Structure 1
Amino acid sequence: MRPVALVPEIRLLLADDPTLLWARLEAAEGRRLQPPFWASAWSGGQALARYVLDHPALVAGRTVLDVASGSGLVAIAAARAGAASVLANDIDPYATAAIRANAAANGVGGVTCLPHDLLDGDGEGADVILAGDGLYEEGLAVRVLAFLTRQAARGALVLAGDPGRGHVPDGLMDRVATYDRPHLGPADDHRERRPAVFRARRP
């Protein structure tokens, strides 16, 4: 367990070398597995978790869905900020295990895991939709942004962490925070990027 750089209030089980962990898991399973995104604290998730903890009124007493939850960092932040309930969604079964372990280690209850693809759905009717780690790769970002736009259109508060990879089109969301910490997360994000938080516009 180690504290998260931008969110030291939360401690996570993280891998020193996710690539090595991936190889070991594949060898143990005897099959190809998804990369262990849940074993890192990505910069978009760190930014969104920081924002939620600094603005607890956004989630306090409300139902929250955290999509592409990974390690569960953003879900844990929402629970600590007083959310009535938190659904942590990730399609990787290892992520589900990591979310449960990390939530327990941080002493938060009320986090339920949903281990299936929700991006074509209605957001489980949640009051607040959080997406800390869904904008890293272009193809996934297109689906996540379409999902977030639909949730905002039905009236949900929608917040997304952005690692600065250029997948947030102009005019779709409003930047509400930027963090001057360009070297957060794994090596993939160790460039001169400053993670940000965006809020989806409602029609």
Structure 2
Amino acid sequence: MFLNFLSLLLYRYLLDNPEVVRHKQILDLGSGCGAAAIAAEMGGASYVLANDIDPVAGAALTLNCQLNGLQPLPFLSENMIGVDTRLWNLIVLGDMFYDEQLADGLHQWLRRCMDQHGTTVLIGDPGRGHFIDHPIQKQLQKLAEYPLPESSKQENYGLTCTAVWKYQP
């Protein structure tokens, strides 16, 4: 599978905990290579949508589906943040709090999805400054923590581990 280590943590968490996705409608927001979407599909989700504003992510998702013996999963390259709040049982996103404006928009939109539909939100993040310092941090429960391999530590400014968080406003 083509992926970076930060995508792998949500993939690993969902594969280790298939009950989190089983029979649910899943949105993999900022999907990148689609690792979390693929793990959700493998875990028995009833519907999975991968979303990323980079259309190359759609090609990576298709290749990764093929490598995992899956039919290509639906992919949408439009920005859904702030717009689409349809019923998702679970939204997963990884490493999207790298910019203060994006962090604020995500926080508001995720809260609206939860308020309107009772959506569960899982966030994978290596502890970037805009994430650690953001008010959302007070509303998170750590579910799992994974050490970064040496190569990823160098690529991620010395961060040593990453975690999966459950958003609980």
Range class of TM-score, shorter chain: 0.7 to 0.9
CA distance in 1, matches of 2:108, 2:156: 24
RMSD: 2.1
CA distance in 2, matches of 1:54, 1:156: 21
Aligned position for 2:125: 162
Q: Specify every segment of 5 or more residues in structure 1 that has no aligned partner in the other structure, as ranges.
A: 1-10, 13-39
Identity %: 35
Aligned position for 1:193: 160
Name the aligned partner's letter for residue 17 of structure 2. H
CA 1:186/1:85 → structure 2, altered by over 3 Å: closer, same or farther?
farther
1:182 is displaced (CA, Å) by 5.3
Name the aligned partner's letter for residue 85 of structure 1. Y
CA contact (8 A) 1:131 1:160 kept: yes
Point out the more displaced range, 174-183 or 124-133: 174-183
Aligned position for 2:57: 95
Pairing 1:61-140 to 2, within 5 Å after superposition:
61-109=23-71, 111-140=73-102
Q: Specify every segment of 5 or more residues in structure 2 that has no aligned partner in the other structure, as ranges.
A: none
Higher helix proportion: 2
Name the aligned partner's letter for residue 159 of structure 1. L
TM-score normalised by structure 2 residue count: 0.85
Aligned position for 1:22: none
Aligned position for 2:138: 171
Specify the structure having the higher radius of gyration (Cα): 1
CA 1:163/1:63 → structure 2, altered by over 3 Å: closer, same or farther?
same
CA contact (8 A) 2:61 2:72 kept: no
- Residue deviations 1:57-85, cap 9 Å, x none? 01011110000001111111111111111
Count of aligned pairs: 164
Pairing 1:2-81 to 2, within 5 Å after superposition:
11-12=1-2, 40-43=3-6, 45-81=7-43
